[in-house]
């Protein structure tokens, strides 16, 4: 019996669509179009924020408030919490056009990095002990 691996990008947008209301984004309004490039194919997702209400669709919008373009491998890492969107923009790996403050706010929707286990005291406290 073959097992299917869940696509991180598809899973991210499906989970986002199910949320409906996001308290962390009560002050956010606008539309963000995500252009996910996989070889010669580009998949588009539209995320609309309206005072905390989140809606996801595949509608084509010519002029969203923010347009984000990323290659599929990078977006898979963003969607699985292995990468930070703002850091990717600063490195030039992720391209945002328009009001990229929406991306900064939307960063809250992406899973966070996995927490590392603390194995002991670090820094100043360790040196004093």
User: For residue 63, what is the domain's CATH number?
Assistant: 3.30.1050.10
**Domain assignment of residue 90, given as a range:** 8-112
d(CA 85, CA 49): 18
Is 14 a domain residue? yes
Q: Total domain count for the chain?
A: 1
What's the number of CA atoms in the CB half-sphere (13 Å) around residue 32? Answer: 24
**How does the average pLDDT of the chain come out, rounded?**
84
74-117: per-residue pLDDT in tens?
999 999 999 998 899 999 999 999 997 888 888 888 887 654 44
């Amino acid at each position: 019996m073959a097992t299917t691996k869940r696509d991180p990008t598809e899973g991210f947008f499906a989970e986002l669509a199910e949320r409906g209301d996001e308290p962390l984004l009560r002050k956010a309004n606008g539309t963000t179009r995500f252009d996910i490039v996989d070889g010669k194919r580009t998949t588009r997702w539209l995320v609309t924020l309206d005072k905390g209400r989140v809606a996801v669709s595949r509608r084509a919008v010519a002029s969203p408030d923010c347009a984000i373009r990323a290659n599929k491998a990078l977006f898979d890492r963003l969607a699985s919490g292995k990468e930070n969107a703002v850091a990717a923009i600063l490195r030039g790996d992720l391209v945002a056009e328009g009001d990229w403050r929406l991306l900064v706010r939307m960063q809250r929707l992406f899973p966070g990095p996995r927490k590392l286990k603390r194995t002991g005291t670090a820094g100043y406290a360790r040196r004093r002990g």
